[in-house]
Structure 1
Amino acid sequence: MFPALSIEINTSLDDFDNLHPEGSDLVIVPAIHNAENKTIIHWIQNQYERGATIVGICDGVWTLGYAGLLKNKHATGHWYSKEKLSNVFSDTIWIRNKRYVQDKNIITTTGVTASIPVSLALVESIAGTKKAKEMATELGVTHWDAHHNSEGFYLDWQQYITAAKNLIFFWNYERIGISMYEGMDEISLALVADAYSRTYRSKTVAITNGNRPVLTKSGIKFVSEMEEGEKIQIHSQIEIPKQKKAFDQLVHTLVEIEKKFGRTTKRFVATQIEFPID
């Protein structure tokens, strides 16, 4: 997720190793600011050696590459990074037009929205098609195959100009509050916060009751970035309905971004997350 909301971490890699000395079954690697972090790379390598399946989401593929896990493997990555990836990891076979690629126990994906179909594919492989369909229905997704049109994602001159204007004209920057509540769906939350944070015109802020931490449906603890008693200007506030499915919430968010910031900004966001729009 693009830098947006803040979470509280209650455990560490060492804690995990102490609890599960046999290693993990599955390791999800998101995009990491320092993809060459030696501690993380060493831990991933150890999990891989113990038989874990390693999944690199979006630019998480960089960390897999630096860990040496992509050598002579088929892989994919975010469209914007493909050329650099192929130059740095020339011994990897880079695949286009696939949202996710599996080569034995290494899985890589394109942009961050590919995390949904690849997750459903993993569920299907573990628990069967029926369970995957049930989860797809909950998310509002109709299919999770790997088909993808990589060629359709690029930044045109309009998007470059819009991104520059949005970044430079800081006085138009908006702070958007997201109302947080106990048990909220973190997938919808992540998609909304990520999309708004990619406009270069806005930042999302967690709005909680009394600035207290909030536990989501799966037990992730989100914390308010505001100190107790602190008041900051919120230009608009978003409510994420419990009944709205995550995929539908993303589509709705892109529509709202277009209303607020214009169609080119909407396209700019969709291009970053590799999400096809009309």
Structure 2
Amino acid sequence: MSWRILVWSGLGCLALFATIGGTWLFMLPDQPSRGTAPAISREESAAMLAALKPPKRKRPLIAIIGINDMSETTDYLMPYGILARADVADVLTLVTQPGPVTLYPALKVQPHATIAEFDATHPDGADYVIVPAMSRDDDAVALQWIRSQAGKGAIVIGVCVGATVVANTGLLDGKRATTHWYSVRDLQKHAAIRYAADRRLVVDQGVATTTGITASMPMALTLIETIAGRAKAEAVARDIGLVEWDARHRSDAFQFTRPFALTAIANTLAFWNREQLGIALTPGIDEVSLALIADAWARTYRARPLTFAATAEAQPSRGGLRILPDRIAADWPAKQTLPAAVALPPAQALDQTLRAIDSRYGPRTADFVAMQLEYPR
């Protein structure tokens, strides 16, 4: 008799779970809101540029801080790669402890220095500190260092969910801010922070924040414009394949929808249908395109992108960053080798990658990835 009770109890729990899950899915919107992003006035744009002016040096020093175990791939690499192209500032990638940075959801790099080494070389601090999303937004060492840099006059920029890291330093208290659409509620848990909707980049009293992952592109271009002028920013924008980069954004266009949830569930549960996709790691590879491609494929929940090279030696990227191969191999099976989109301008590389994901896994997965990256299709 007892086993029958257990069986019926288990079936009842499953039925209850299915009912709750089905109700939750039914209540989700079928598609995100449609519409045009509100315009940004010239006065607002000018005020943003003025607020981001280099606080110390004519040629600014920019530090990108990460923790060793899983800092977000594109948040960490894209600002570096775009700013390095412009050559209007000295840009350094930093890490809290000695050793490489394992990025999430893909890639591994050897940063320029630890924060201790940076402090010893630059006791007066950076002009800008860029904070990516991290696997732990409460890392005590990272938080203290960010606070110390702000105390030395640095402008702190939280990219994507890096905004929650900055929020945990207390530097956003009493200020306006934004973040990735999925983490807005986490940001709003800080009662002293005022969430600013419909802005891709928000600057308030020495602290800036951005929306989702691809917002690193307009953020970096805005920094270039405020440091070196509009013409220089336009030249870099053409080089990376971006037409516009102002703060326009429609927040309602990115949200948790029924197709998004169903795709996440289906792709996660299909554990038997995973594949490892190879990306050839060669000297001079464009770190921005590489980051976008690897990030996008990893976010399908169907593929694990891996870099490979003939030796274990770190390969220098276009901007001089050392990227470590995931696998030592002379080649990769043709059907599992990703197209050489890394040779394209970053925006075009991402567009081509989303088309390839659409072809390989279907349009819902491509839309699922674009929504995570906050990239309009």
> What TM-score results when the alignment is normalised by the length of structure 1?
0.94
Instruction: Please tell me whether residue 253 in structure 1 is matched to residue 353 in structure 2.
Output: yes
Residue type at the aligned position of 1:245: P
8 Å Cα contact 1:189/1:240 also seen in 2: no
Instruction: Please tell me whether residue 103 in structure 1 is matched to residue 208 in structure 2.
Output: no
**How far did 1:68 drift?**
0.3
Classify 1:241/1:84 alpha carbon distance in 2 versus 1 (closer, same or farther; 3 Å). closer
Residue deviations 1:87-140, cap 9 Å, x none?
x21111110111110112111000010000011001000110010001000010
Q: How does 1:173-188 map to 2 (within 5 A)?
A: 173-188=274-289
Q: 1:237 aligns with which of 337, 340, 345?
A: 337
**How far did 1:231 drift?**
9.9
The equivalent of 2:261 in structure 1 is 160
**What is the distance in 2 between the residues matched to 1:10 and 1:132?**
25
The equivalent of 1:34 in structure 2 is 136
The equivalent of 1:206 in structure 2 is 307
Residue deviations 1:166-188, cap 9 Å, x none?
11111110111111111111000
**How far did 1:215 drift?**
0.8
> What TM-score results when the alignment is normalised by the length of structure 2?
0.70
**How far did 1:209 drift?**
2.4
**What is the distance in 2 between the residues matched to 1:247 and 1:74?**
29
**What is the distance in 1 between the residues matched to 2:291 and 2:198?**
25
Q: Of the two, which has the highest radius of gyration? A: 2
**How far did 1:41 drift?**
0.4
Residue deviations 1:30-66, cap 9 Å, x none?
0011110010000000000100011100000011000
Classify 1:235/1:173 alpha carbon distance in 2 versus 1 (closer, same or farther; 3 Å). farther
Q: How does 1:65-214 map to 2 (within 5 A)?
A: 65-86=167-188, 88-214=189-315
Q: How does 1:257-276 map to 2 (within 5 A)?
A: 257-276=357-376
The equivalent of 2:13 in structure 1 is none
Unaligned runs of 5+ in 1: none
Classify 1:235/1:170 alpha carbon distance in 2 versus 1 (closer, same or farther; 3 Å). farther
Classify 1:244/1:233 alpha carbon distance in 2 versus 1 (closer, same or farther; 3 Å). closer
- RMSD value over aligned CA atoms? 1.8
Residue type at the aligned position of 1:41: L
8 Å Cα contact 1:179/1:239 also seen in 2: no
Moved over 4 A (4+): 228-235
**What is the distance in 2 between the residues matched to 1:37 and 1:242?**
33
The equivalent of 2:164 in structure 1 is 62
**What is the distance in 2 between the residues matched to 1:103 and 1:194?**
29
| Corresponding residue pairs, total | 275
**What is the distance in 1 between the residues matched to 2:281 and 2:336?**
14
Q: What secondary structure, in the 3-state scheme, does the structure 2 residue paired with 1:256 have?
A: helix
8 Å Cα contact 1:175/1:204 also seen in 2: yes
Residue type at the aligned position of 2:138: E
Residue type at the aligned position of 1:208: A
Classify 1:184/1:232 alpha carbon distance in 2 versus 1 (closer, same or farther; 3 Å). closer
Unaligned runs of 5+ in 2: 1-72, 74-103
**What is the distance in 1 between the residues matched to 2:134 and 2:209?**
14
**How far did 1:236 drift?**
1.1
